Amino acid sequence: MFQNTKCECGHQNHVGTVLCEYCGKPLGEESLSEEPLEMRYDGVARRSQKANPSWIDRIWNFFSSVKIAVYLIVITLLGSTLGTIYPQESTFLSGDPTTYYEVNYGLPGKIYYALGLSRTYESWWFITLLVMIGTSLVICSLDRVLPLYRALNKQSIRKHLTFLKRQRVVFTRDIPGDPEEFVEKLGEQLKRKGYRVNRDGTALLAEKGRFSRWGPYINHIGLILFLLAVLARSIPGWYMDSYVTLPEGEAVEIKDTNYYIKNEKFTVQYYTDDELPDELKGTLRAKLYETKAVLYECTAYCGDLTREPELKEVHRHDIIVNDPLSYKGLHAYQFDFDETPKLKAVKPVLVDKQTGESYGPFELSMTNPEISYQVGPYTLELRDQFMEFAIGENGKPTTLSREPNAPAFFFLIKGPGLPKEGESYLYFPREIDKVRFSQDQINRDIADRFEIKVGSMENVVLSGATTFLNIRVDTAIPYVWVGAAISMIGLILGFYWQHRRIWLRIDDGKLTLGAHTNKNWFGMRGDVASALRKLDIVVEPKSLDNGGNKT
Amino acid sequence: MSFLEFSSDAFIAAFFLYCFGFLFYMIAIGGKKWSNRDPEQHVKRWGRVAYIVSTLGLVAHLAFFFTRWIGAGHIPTSNMYEFMTFLGMSIMIAFTVIYSIYRSPLLGMFALPLTIIIVAYASVFPQEVQPLIPALNSIWLKIHVTTAALGEAFFAVGFAAGLMYLLRVVDFKGKTKEARRAQRWVEFTLYVIIVVISFIITVFVFRGMGYEAEFKQMQVNIDSRGQETTTEENVQYTMPPIFKPYNSETISMDSFIGMKQPLLETPYWMDGVNAGRKLNTVVWSIIAGSLLYGLLRLVFRKPLGAVIHPAMEGIDPEDLDEISYRAIAIGFPIFTLGALIFAMIWANIAWSRFWGWDPKEVWALITWLYYSAYLHLRLSRGWQGHRSAWLAVIGFVIVMFTLIGVNLIIAGLHSYAGV
Amino acid sequence: MGASRKTVQIVILIGVLLIGGYAIGKTLFADDQGPPGVGDRPPDFSLLGMDGEVHNLSDYEGKALVINFWGTFCPPCVEEMPEFQRQYEKWRGEDFDILAINLSEADLPVANFVRQMDLDYPLLRDVNRRTERNYGLRSYPTTFFVKKDGTIMEVFVGGMTEEQINERVERLLET
């Protein structure tokens, strides 16, 4: 199809041009109407508008449409709501997702899980939507920003009369006296208002805040960077998210790294009743969770199972909520804790009941005891240990778990006055277990001669609270912030400044003025009215309104 | 007098000043046609009085905010009461900013009642100063919450202007299908607002009566080993139980106009925290709201939209459209900064990730996506005026759902902001 | 200008296709983050055996494997161990091995237990539950049957009889 795109001023325009790039005269359908002009992108042809599009052009055109962009945004919005109906799988650490939803929410929950909505934000369709939005951001922007840049960079001062008359803000009046002098004076006034003024004899173009036109595009660049930064987390080594359980005083290896981390002490503080309002008095309201943490780097024997690794302290930090430990891109966050004290070791003595003499004390670790202890003249050989003592079905002692919930130690006592092969003695460190399993009856005769016992609480070693830390590496974070910052700059430029332009020309003593802005017509009309008032032309700002669409 | 005592006095002062401000706005608009006066002069004079009084209200509100800050030792935005009062204050600030640009006194007639409703809603929640839990103890509490609320306040002003636009332009005498549809939806919007007001009134009426009922609710849980455990929990009601909690027994119950037993039981599938009480409150609000709405209809003998419509005469709808758009355009960057960027920075410090698809986060994103769609649509022909005003109204519904609905229905990591 | 515009279009579309395709593909072929299941490769480990040697999973590449997690505190674990011992003897000489990983217990009970039981297949000691966690264990005993190609044929939770083991080992050896 042949389309004449040559304007009467002689300028050859691109296909799809709405307003002549040179003089602003409306072209094509736009020239038939009397309505204010469609000033989007200054009426230039977008890159994608061309005759005979190929299939590449068609894909390009699809993504370059703002309408499609709005559809994508709305679909993403609706899709996002689905993920908030029930908790996402990523939000619970324990529990089996395959049964969780059905158990907790019944049939709707089962359907929810079956549809994959329990992982909405990792699903292929959601990511596809984000990718499409990203594509739309790139193509929409490119498609508009370059032609717009060209159009704004080479504006002619004297525009076609129709172009002025069909602006949203229009003013016409007969001007007595020298037209050039009038234009110059008005130019002065507009300069004072911060406009850049270009004159061409009896025509004038005043412009202000053009940079704000780039705001949306800067914003889009920021958003694209942001999305790319999020995607960059899948680069190997850029992202890590794991949890460590830290009993007090034990350096624990951080999986997949060369670091070890130790919890020297964990404390919880609660508010006292004085600090609480009446209705909260007597409740436990946490004030502080703190892990005194030390980070070590392994320097030798790191993977070696037969030897203890050599650790070098590299960093220490008191981790509290809102204040993580950070070292070379590795972060450790306070996540959870378990305050239940656990029996770690006891320091009992061996008492000779007949003489009343006591030997020891010796340190008996619950999890890692020695094989034999020498106390006074006696030797205690540890023959077996039970973490949670019980009598099994076959009548033999056994253990119910691997936690020291009801520890028991089976010793052979050897020494003066005892048989050579020794006497067996079962020892329960916890008083409650001693009674429950009747230690003295089990030990029979030997119970009358010896007793292993802990003198006082000082000789009981309890482990402090266990803390749970969340270990993170997220190398992409700085790029995420850069993207967000650029986006924010774009938004501020685009929304808090406006691009305002005023064109005017005087033909045979008749002034025609047209003005355009991309936002805030109220301010635009005010600018024009107040500049005119300085030249003793009084107009009500509202009367300048030529009607039509606002953008 | 301690800071906190002064603070609560200032709050009451602010509330009444807002109410008087609203009253004067009504006089400014409603009194236009009173005899022996020039309508323009009348609107100007009373509009000014109303503006001054409501600005004094804002000053008192600011005094409340800062004295409570000093008295509590931390910024008062850490629970629902504090946040909602702050949101009300932000709406007044946003209104003042928009007013300084457009000098349209009538905007106050809609911004003020919105503030009053939100401040009154805030008072439904416990007002004691609560010391901060560790998760909230951060400088970002100040930065994130205040900027997010300010952004949302601009959206609220956009909503007020949008609703004004609709009341101004919808043809309440029209008989066409379109006119009728517009009438119905405007009426529905007003009805919803009345339900919200009724909720607040109901809460305070029953609180004033000292109404109490208590139930023992049995909850059966089956743990991972298949063992059944029953936990008992006492649930307190402050409104007469139309719906008692699911699977519960009455421990005590004040009688209410002959009602001595709960009427119905909450269905089993509503099993959230305090689901029974929430359902009961919702039902009461709808009943009271419907009664109030019916009463108003009886008094005026026409739809409420048609009652308000004449008062809007003389306001340029184009200005309202632009004010609504402008308020949202000003609010959008602030919202982006506060509710998304600052939120991400804080989340990265407190929860070790900047984004975790927590329901509150998702809803903030939904709000943001919604308003970005709105801003893109404004670029197209045919999306100004009517449609744009409806979008502004719906947008505010989404904002309120993000702020309140998520806490009431979904909860999640932000649950400390809940009821 | 037409030509350069075309080039820009193609470059950008290819970029979008690569980056977007990668992002979407990642969701479709995501590494299963859950516990290893049928068809997955069992997580690698390097553990000290009761024989004092270090055993790596990779040492057993190309063999049909039974990886069994056990503890002295778990009666069904204890009951099934002699069954595994008989199977171990039966298939000696084949491309087959049994690795029995103890659930991070203290030294003494394990040593005593092994002395009583008279087992001669490799017994490994997990430390701080690390391997157990990597394998996503929820209850004990759990046994993984690994084919010669290094993928899991079956995950069996609970105690097993010799018959049950035998049937599975036969299938394993056929692969």
On whether residue B379 sits in a domain, the answer given is: no
Query: What phi-psi label fits residue B150: left (phi over 0), alpha (psi between -120 and 50 degrees) or beta?
Result: alpha
Region B235-241: what's the mean pLDDT?
85
Q: Nearest CA to CA, how far is A416 from chain C (Å)?
A: 27
* C138/A96 touch (CB, cutoff 8 Å), yes or no: yes
Give the pLDDT band of residue B419 (cuts 50, 70, 90): very low
CB–CB of A385 and C109 under 8 A?
A: yes
C93 and C59 in a common domain: yes
- pLDDT for B223 equals 57
Q: How far is C175 from chain A (nearest CA, A)?
A: 30
Instruction: Indicate whether B286 belongs to any domain.
Output: no
Write out pLDDT tens, residues A110-132: 899 999 898 899 899 999 999 99
**Could you say which of A127, A131, A399 has the minimum Cβ distance to residue C72?**
A399
Residue A151 token pair: 């159009």
In the prediction, which pLDDT does C8 show? 84
d(CA A420, CA A331): 58
Does B127 contact chain A (CB < 8 Å)? no
A-chain residues near B336 (CB < 8 A) = 487-488, 491
Q: Does the pLDDT of residue B273 top 50, yes or no?
A: yes
Report the residue from A124, A305, A392 with minimal CB separation from C28: A124
Q: What percent of chain C has pLDDT over 70?
A: 95
Among the residue ranges A60-69, B68-77, C111-120, the one predicted with the least confidence is C111-120
Would the CB atoms of C106 and A402 count as touching at under 8 Å? yes
In this structure, the number of other CB atoms found within 10 A of the CB of residue B316 comes to 12
Who wins on pLDDT, A447 or B15?
Answer: B15
What sign results for the dihedral spanned by CA atoms B318, B322, B324, B325?
positive
- pLDDT value of position A162: 87
Distance CA B278, CA B264 (A): 14
Taking an 8 Å cut-off on Cβ atoms, the answer to whether C112 and A123 are in contact is no
Comparing A291-295, A478-482, C71-75, which segment has the lowest mean pLDDT? C71-75
The reported pLDDT for the residue numbered B416 is: 40
The answer to whether A394 contacts chain C (CB < 8 Å) is: no
Which residue among A334, A472, A522 places its CB closest to the CB of B322?
A522
Whether C103 is in a domain gets the answer yes
Which chain A residues contact residue C130 at CB under 8 A? Answer: 255
C39 within a domain of the structure (yes/no): no
Cis geometry, peptide bond prior to residue A478 (ω within 30 degrees of 0): no
Q: Does B4 touch chain A (CB under 8 A)?
A: no
User: Which positions in chain C touch A57 (Cβ < 8 Å)?
Assistant: 9
pLDDT at residue number B251: 82
Q: Assign B46 a pLDDT band (cuts: 50, 70, 90).
A: confident
In-domain check, residue C100: yes
Sequence-separated (6 or more) residues with CB below 8 Å from residue C136: C34, C35, C36
ipTM of the complex: 0.89
3-state secondary structure chain B: CCHHHHHHHHHHHHHHHHHHHHHHHHHHHHHHHCCCCCHHHHHHHHHHHHHHHHHHHHHHHHHHHHHHHHHHCCCCCCCHHHHHHHHHHHHHHHHHHHHHHHCCCCHHHHHHHHHHHHHHHHCCCCCCCCCCCHHHCCHHHHHHHHHHHHHHHHHHHHHHHHHHHHHHHCCCCCCCHHHHHHHHHHHHHHHHHHHHHHHHHHHHHHHHHCCCEEEEEEEEEECCCCCEEEEEEEEEECCCCCEECCCEEEEEECCECCECCCCEECCCCCCCCCHHHHHHHHHHHHHHHHHHHHHHHHHHCCCHHHHHHHHHCCCCHHHHHHHHHHHHHHHHHHHHHHHHHHHHHHHHHHCCCCCCCCHHHHHHHHHHHHHHHHHHHCCCCCCCCHHHHHHHHHHHHHHHHHHHHHHHHHCCHHHHHCC
Report helix, strand or coil for C86: helix
pLDDT of residue B10: 93
Band of pLDDT at residue B415, cut at 50, 70 and 90: very low
Query: Does residue C65 lie within any of the structural domains?
Result: yes
pLDDT for residue A214 is more than 90 = yes
Does C101 fall in a domain?
yes
Q: Which of A156-165, A492-501, C62-71, C90-99 has the highest mean pLDDT?
A: A492-501
Please list, in sequence order, all residues whose beta carbon lies within 8 angstroms of the beta carbon of residue A238, skipping any fewer than 6 positions away: A232, A473, A474, A475, A476
The verdict on C26 and C50 lying in the same domain is: no
Residue B346 has pLDDT above 60, yes or no: yes
User: pLDDT digit string (tens) for A308-325?
Assistant: 888 999 999 999 988 999
Q: What pLDDT is attached to residue B62?
A: 95
Looking at residue A35, its amino acid is E
- Confidence at residue B1, expressed as pLDDT on a 0 to 100 scale: 61
Q: What is the percentage of chain A residues whose pLDDT exceeds 90?
A: 29
**Hey, of A63, A244, A402, A411, which one would you mutate to test binding to chain C, going by the most C CBs within 10 A of its CB?**
A402
Average pLDDT over every residue of C47-55: 85
Check residue A51 and give its pLDDT: 66
Instruction: Report CB contact under 8 Å: C24, A387.
Output: no
Number of folded domains that form chain B: 1
Of B356, B376, B410, Cβ closest to residue A84: B410
Contacts of A382 in chain C (CB under 8 A): 108
Going by pLDDT thresholds of 50, 70 and 90, the confidence category of residue B95 is very high
The predicted model scores a pTM of 0.87
Which amino acid does the sequence have at C152?
I
Distance from CA of A171 to the nearest CA of B (A): 19
pLDDT digit string, tens, across residues A216-252:
999 999 999 999 999 988 888 888 888 888 888 888 8
CA-nearest of A14, A224, A7, A34 to A136 is A224
Are C25 and C67 part of one and the same domain?
no
Interface touch A241/B344, C-beta < 8 Å: no
**Which residue(s) pair with A6 in the sheet?**
A12
- Residues near C36 by beta carbon (within 8 Å), at least 6 away in sequence: C42, C43, C135, C136, C144, C152, C155
- C31 pLDDT band (50/70/90 cuts)? low
Q: Give the structural domain span for B138.
A: 3-172+303-339
Q: Which residues of A66-99 are buried (b: 16+ CB within 10 A; e: fewer)?
A: bebbbebbeebbebbebbbbbbbbbeeeeeeeee
Query: Residue B394 has what pLDDT?
Result: 96
Do C22 and C50 belong together in one domain? no
Name the least confident of A86-90, B60-64, B252-256, C84-88: B252-256
- Shared-domain flag, residues C157 and C91: yes
Using CA atoms of B58, B60, B61, B67 in order, give the dihedral in degrees to the nearest 10. Answer: 140
Q: Report residue B279's pLDDT band, with 50, 70 and 90 as the boundaries.
A: confident
Chains A and B: how many Cβ contacts under 8 Å? 141
**What's the confidence (pLDDT) of residue A490?**
96
Mutate to test the interface with A, among B138, B143, B334, B352 (most CBs of A within 10 A): B352
pLDDT at A7: 81
In a shared domain, residues C5 and C72:
no
**Residue B208 maps to a domain:** no
Subunits adjacent to chain A (3 or more Cβ pairs under 8 Å): B, C
Asked if residue B413 has pLDDT above 50, the reply is no
Q: Is B344–A521 a contact, with Cβ atoms under 8 angstroms apart?
A: no
pLDDT at A550 over 50: no
What residues of chain A lie within 8 A of the CB of B353, using their CB? 241, 472, 474
Do C10 and C60 belong to one domain?
no
Stretch B399-409: mean pLDDT: 84
In the 8-state DSSP scheme, what is residue A52? Answer: S
C72 and C146 assigned to the same domain: yes
pLDDT band at C93 (very low <50, low <70, confident <90, very high): confident
**Residue of higher predicted confidence among A24 and B167:** B167
Which of these ranges, A5-9, A473-477, A530-534, B204-208, has the smallest mean pLDDT? A5-9
Average pLDDT over residues A439-462: 82
Which residue of chain A comes nearest to B380, CA vs CA?
A551
Q: What is the pLDDT of residue A177?
A: 83
Number of domains in chain C: 2
pLDDT one-digit tens code per residue, B23-35: 998 888 777 777 6
Contacts of A264 (CB under 8 A, 6+ apart): A248, A249, A292, A293, A294
Higher per-residue pLDDT: B337 or A65: B337
Residue numbers of the domain that contains C8: 1-30
In chain C, the residue whose alpha carbon lies closest to the alpha carbon of A397 is C73
Q: What is the DSSP string of C108-137?
A: HHHHHHHHHHT--S-EEE-STTHHHHHTT-
Residues B246/B249/B253/B255 CA torsion (nearest 10 deg):
80
pLDDT average, residue stretch B70-79: 88
C82 and C127, same domain (yes or no)? yes
**Residue B19: per-residue pLDDT:** 94
Kindly state whether residue B73 falls inside one of the protein's structural domains: yes
Q: Determine the average pLDDT of the residues in A71-89.
A: 92
C38 belongs to a structural domain:
no
Q: Which of the residue ranges A144-153, B79-88, B310-319, B402-411 would you say has the lowest mean pLDDT?
A: B402-411
Any domain includes C5: yes
Please indicate whether, in this complex, the C-beta atoms of B137 and A321 are within 8 angstroms of each other: yes
C82 touching A (Cβ < 8 Å): no
Q: And the tokens for A245?
A: 């359980």
Tell me the mean pLDDT in the region C141-163. 88
pLDDT of A260 reads 92
Asked whether residue C37 is domain-assigned, the answer is no
Chains A, C: CB contacts within 8 A come to 91
**CATH (domain of C94):** 3.40.30.10
Does pLDDT of B385 surpass 60? yes
